Amino acid sequence: MSATSVTPKALAIHGGSPVRETLLPYGRQSLEETDIRAVVDVLRSDWLTTGPKVAEFEESFAVRVGAGHAVSFSSGTAALHGAAFAAGLKPGDEAIATPMTFAATANCVLYQGATPVFGDVCRDTLNLDPEQVEARITSRTRAILAVDYAGHPAELAPIQEIAKQKGLLVIEDACHALGAEYRGRRVGCIADMTVFSFHPVKHITTGEGGMVTTNDPRLAETLRRFRNHGISSDARQRQKAGQWHYEMVLLGFNYRLPDIVCALGCEQLKRLDANLARRREIAGCYTAAFREVPGVIAPSVRADVNPAWHLYPIRLNLEKLTADRAQIFRALRAENIGVNVHYIPVHYHPYYRDRFGDKRGEFPIAEDAYERLISLPMFHAMTDADVQDVVCAVRKVMNHFAS
């Protein structure tokens, strides 16, 4: 297409001018000088790891979510592994999970030699369907892994009731949902164990890092030992007691979160409420703007929850569009809107197909959603101008492809 034939409203992918001059990512960290100073202070201290900042971060986090205990880990994946271990998963066991998640949720079951059994999701929230959970329980089932997709809490009450009746543990993967509320209670104090992530695109960050919260002191003690080589005490405890002796009581890993990044976590946690408020404001702007945009289905929110909005995943009404998801994705990227897709269903991945067989077609709701999903930029440092750029680009692209 020649420059003379380009109209002002032409899509950037067709040679038109993009909505933005530079790419707006779907998520990114937000750091302030107080964060930097806190990290530098630890670098100048006597403890870089297993020191006082670890306990400070854990205690502050437990208070924030209303849990009795919080145990930090080197990543959200390590935290999931710790929860699977503490749940007692072992070879021959099964745990029910959702395919609409990052692979780490199911991988933590495999790390223990157990088998993940997938259940389909609810059509509105894309969270694990309790009816699917109940239908997949066998004599080998030991745990249920419920994911708070995009920051919308899972259907915790019915899932917990099923777990109680069957003698199972509930592990809530809340890596998207720090600050979310379910029926008036904060996520993190409801399930047997709740797992959080502090990756840079999350509500607060420690670079990498994770946390497991629980109200069960026995689970908490197992988690602490597991993340520290299976040893029953840490270096700071031994120094304080003036002793050298330690005992390895289980086979654990080095999954510790250092003081350096726990200092960052302490500072970030102070801004969590402000971060959540901004994400909710952005989500409100998006939802209001997209009500009349052809082909766009905004995320559903149930009446009894307050989501944390880690992601803002729209679904495309492909029946009203002349393009598929791949074309629309490319068109939005060309407008410099850094859209993404969350997630490729876990059972689609080659490793899972090779190990468990091709199960495509068994989870129609999750699979149909995958073909339609696009995650729009969502992070608390977005400006009002950023938000309007996203809205403008979505309208521009969708109007072009409206049937």
Catalytic site positions? 202
> For the sheet containing 210-214, what is the strand order?
69-73, 210-214, 193-197, 169-173, 141-147, 94-97, 115-118
Cis peptide before 348 (omega within 30 of 0): no
Cα torsion 368, 370, 374, 379: sign: positive
| Six token digits for residue 246 | 């330690």
User: How many Å apart are CA 352 and CA 363, to the nearest integer?
Assistant: 15
What letter represents residue 57's amino acid?
A: F
> For the sheet containing 373-376, what is the strand order?
296-297, 312-316, 373-376
Beta strands in 163-286 (DSSP E): 169-173, 181-182, 185-186, 193-197, 210-214
Residue with tokens 């208070």: 63
State the angle between helix axes of 217-226 and 76-86 in degrees (0 to 180), rounded to the nearest 10. Answer: 120
| Six token digits for residue 381 | 């440092």
DSSP 8-state assignment for residue 360: T
Burial 232-265 (b: 16+ CB within 10 A, else e): ebbebeeeeeeeeeeeeeeebbebbbbbbbbbbb
